[in-house]
Amino acid sequence: MVVGCPKAPSASCLRRVLAVGFACILIAPLARARGPNPQTLHLFKEMGARVVRRFPTGVGVEGYVIQSGMHRAVVYTVGGGQAILFGRLINAQGQNLTGYFIDRYLVRGGVWKRLASSPWIAEGSAHPRRIVYALVDPNCVYCHHFWKWVQPYFKKGLQVRYLMVAVLARSSLGKAARVLQSRDPARAYNQMEEAYAKGGLAPLARSQIDSKTYAKIRNATL
């Protein structure tokens, strides 16, 4: 199954596909691609993206790694580049080919080292058996549900490392900054999630956000 867009999405649409919720943004240095046909290039250009790599899928569609800003994603084209498809590509055996392509073309490029060196907020076990990196927007309901869902697993050796992003609303930047600039960001993050139904923490004004905090949020969001 593949989720398709009826027309070439805008750059903002692509940014949401790549960054919304707590999905990990996977950035990796990849080999230069063979060039796609001009029609495909035009579609990607309309999206504000460029082709990093083209690869065969073996199931009748062309696979691409594309980049917009600092985000990279696996997408597909059909009809000689007449349409672009996002989402899971499932073969006749029920295998998730998109997961395989992401692992092959995105993950195996030192992404975990880059995530480990990012300015994250840790919650959970101090001596983790498992570590999960989560990109979270203060206004993301799925991030909120994720936060509630992982709580019981902290006693079992899980540690979650949250990277604050600002994608979904104008208040996201100010709320994320309030968490990061607090004396205890982990505690502030939990307070924000506990108060999610009431709007979370009050956002900082742009003038109250220092340059280092702004850079952390911007780098995680891009």
pLDDT computed for residue 146 by the predictor: 95
Can you tell me the distance from the alpha carbon of 205 to that of 173, in angstroms, rounded to the nearest whole number? 9
- 19-23, 33-37, 179-183: which has the minimum mean pLDDT? 19-23
pLDDT of 35 strictly over 60: no
pLDDT, average across residues 88-95: 89
* Residues 128-171: tens digit of each pLDDT: 999 998 989 999 999 999 999 999 999 999 999 999 999 899 99
> What size, in residues, is the chain?
222
Show the domains of the chain with their CATH numbers.
Answer: 3-111 (3.10.450.70), 118-221 (3.40.30.10)
Confidence band for 102, pLDDT divided at 50, 70 and 90? confident
More confident position, 100 or 189: 189
pLDDT computed for residue 7 by the predictor: 43
Tokens of 162: 């949250």
Can you tell me the distance from the alpha carbon of 87 to that of 99, in angstroms, rounded to the nearest whole number? 10
Residue 104 is classified by DSSP as: I
Can you tell me the distance from the alpha carbon of 192 to that of 176, in angstroms, rounded to the nearest whole number? 9
Residue 4 in contact with residue 85, Cβ under 8 Å? yes
Can you tell me the distance from the alpha carbon of 193 to that of 210, in angstroms, rounded to the nearest whole number? 23
Q: What is the percent of the chain where pLDDT is above 90?
A: 41
Handedness of CA 53, 118, 164, 181 (dihedral sign): negative
* Residues 45-89: tens digit of each pLDDT: 777 788 888 899 989 888 998 887 656 788 898 877 778 888 888
pLDDT computed for residue 116 by the predictor: 74
pLDDT computed for residue 37 by the predictor: 63
Can you tell me the distance from the alpha carbon of 201 to that of 192, in angstroms, rounded to the nearest whole number? 5
pLDDT computed for residue 123 by the predictor: 95
pLDDT of 9 strictly over 90: no
Confidence band for 21, pLDDT divided at 50, 70 and 90? very low
Closest to 133 (Cα-Cα) out of 108, 165, 106, 160 = 160
Q: Is the pTM of this model over 0.75?
A: no
